[in-house]
Amino acid sequence: MEKIVSLCKRRGFVFPSSEIYGGFAGVYDFGPLGVELENNLKAQWWKKMVYDRDDIVGLDSSIFMSPRIWEASGHTKGFSDPMAECKKCNTRIRVDKALEAIGVTADEKMSEEEINKLFDAHRADIACEKCGGHDFSEVKKFNLLVKSNLGDFTEQGTDPSYLRGETCQGIYVNYKNVLDSSPMKLPFGIAQIGKAFRNEISPRQFLFRMREFEQMEMQYFTRPEEEMAEYKKLKAYRWNVVLDLGLQEKNLRWKQHENLVFYAKDAWDIEYAFPWGFDELEGIHARGDYDLTQHAKGSGKTLDYFDQDSGERFVPHIIESSGGVGRLFLAVLVDAYREDELNGEPRIYLALEPKIAPVKAMVAPLLKNKPELVEKAKTVRKELQNVHPQIAWDDNGNIGKRYRRQDEIGTPFCITIDFDTLGEKPELKDTVTLRHRDTGEQERLSISDVAERIKNAIAVR
């Protein structure tokens, strides 16, 4: 994990937020390469969840919504994690996670009474991560919604609004708008990518648990009797989409929720083998009619579906797929991180799938002080940028060092322009060397063949 965090900072993938002011916990900034990787992951998700599916449409709802939405959904009361405070140094811990870390099954859904009982039985085994003490306060449920004063002009802030704690509430409250303004019929889905905010008690594990993060959520509306059959299909679909990103299957597994919320029919997570063990990457849940029923009650508006063929009226059931961009980003980096030896020297490289790699290829003149090589290399780069704009230029240092720099950020191809490209050996005129990241192997190809190779490798299917 330390190696990944260090690589992310060193090469401009991820920076800690507000670093020059000493940092800001639970928040991260994505640098020049990070934003490219992030955009590629989101574009891939959007392709699979919207463009490839005639039954799913997109949405971009607002971060701020009526506070009544969060009351109806149950978040103002029930969206909380169990917290205890070290009496010596005031460090706060998330009690369910601290119990899990010592092998005790616990859950954020437990009541205050249940988790206090469990915590009391294991207090002696749980040490404060800062001072090592064992003297904690009693456990309190801490609400994770982030409050704001947007639209609240009372002096005491008695009518707060909230930064959304999950993106899907924006989908539920727009379900009727989408239905009335588009030709969608059940079953159909609405997909959305956007920021969510949670006052996490102890943000940790880098991008895994943040206070500001991005979610990719799709809510699928079904007839009640079709919910579980659609759920099965969605689970299989999401598994294949995750695999298609290049994640190794041995590092993925399914985990069923043991302690279901009262309205849920079934809930499974896709877990990834993070450096600390298998943990949740995304959730696929069968939610019944809870969400639409709650919003119908809260708003006083009917959210029924009218089936024109059968004349029936009913509240659709919902199945959801919900994942975090940050968690996927971290999983992809962990999965691709490699250390090996090439030409007798140790190296680090990222074996990223070309379609998600932030830079698709690097073009370099063999020598930077030969204008004819530089000019030709610039022309080649321009030509390759017709295939994809992310074609890097690097003429700094010896060619081996340049290759290593690209390996470390996962660039799948390096293209070198030398004197043979210019026609020193006439039979090699307009050919270049194409170097492959994972093996370091090189081959001689025409420029148009190189363009074709890159095009095929990065094609999003």
Residues of the shown chain interacting with ligand GAP in the complex, contacts defined by CB under 6 A: 166, 168, 198, 200, 209-210, 213, 215, 217, 280, 282-283, 320, 322-324, 326-327
Asked if residue 339 lies in contact with residue 391, where contact means CB atoms within 8 angstroms, the answer is no
Residue 24 neighbours by CB under 8 Å, 6+ apart: 16, 17, 18
Residue 256: how many other CB atoms lie within 10 Å: 9
Write down the least CB distance from residue 166 to ligand GAP, Å.
Answer: 4
Alpha helices by DSSP H, listed for 320-398, are 325-336, 371-384
- Provide the pairing of β-strand 56-58 with 188-197: parallel
Q: Can you list the positions of beta strands (E) in 125-239?
A: 140-143, 146-148, 161-163, 188-197, 212-222
Asked if residue 180 lies in contact with residue 163, where contact means CB atoms within 8 angstroms, the answer is no
Asked if residue 315 lies in contact with residue 290, where contact means CB atoms within 8 angstroms, the answer is no
Write down the least CB distance from residue 159 to ligand GAP, Å.
Answer: 25
- Tell me whether residue 294 or residue 421 sits nearer to ligand GAP (CB atom): 294
Write down the least CB distance from residue 193 to ligand GAP, Å.
Answer: 12
**Pick from 207, 461, 283: which is nearest to 356 by CA?**
461
Asked if residue 59 lies in contact with residue 98, where contact means CB atoms within 8 angstroms, the answer is no
In a 10 Å sphere around its CB, with 0-12 CB exposed, 13-18 middle and 19+ buried, how is residue 182 labelled? exposed
CA-to-CA dists, residue 374 to 50, 270, 433, angstroms: 43, 48, 15
Asked if residue 68 lies in contact with residue 299, where contact means CB atoms within 8 angstroms, the answer is yes
Which bin fits 420, alpha (ψ -120 to 50), beta or left (φ > 0)? alpha
- Tell me whether residue 79 or residue 413 sits nearer to ligand GAP (CB atom): 79
Asked if residue 429 lies in contact with residue 420, where contact means CB atoms within 8 angstroms, the answer is yes
Token match 């090589």: residue? 373
- Tell me whether residue 281 or residue 380 sits nearer to ligand GAP (CB atom): 281
Residue 381 neighbours by CB under 8 Å, 6+ apart: 363, 391, 393
Residue 187 neighbours by CB under 8 Å, 6+ apart: 55, 220, 221, 222, 223, 226, 230
- Using CB atoms, what's the residue nearest to ligand GAP? 324
Token match 């005031």: residue? 90
Token match 């022309």: residue? 379
DSSP 49: I
- Please state, in angstroms and rounded to a whole number, the distance separating the CA atoms of residues 433 and 361: 12
Amino acid at 318: I
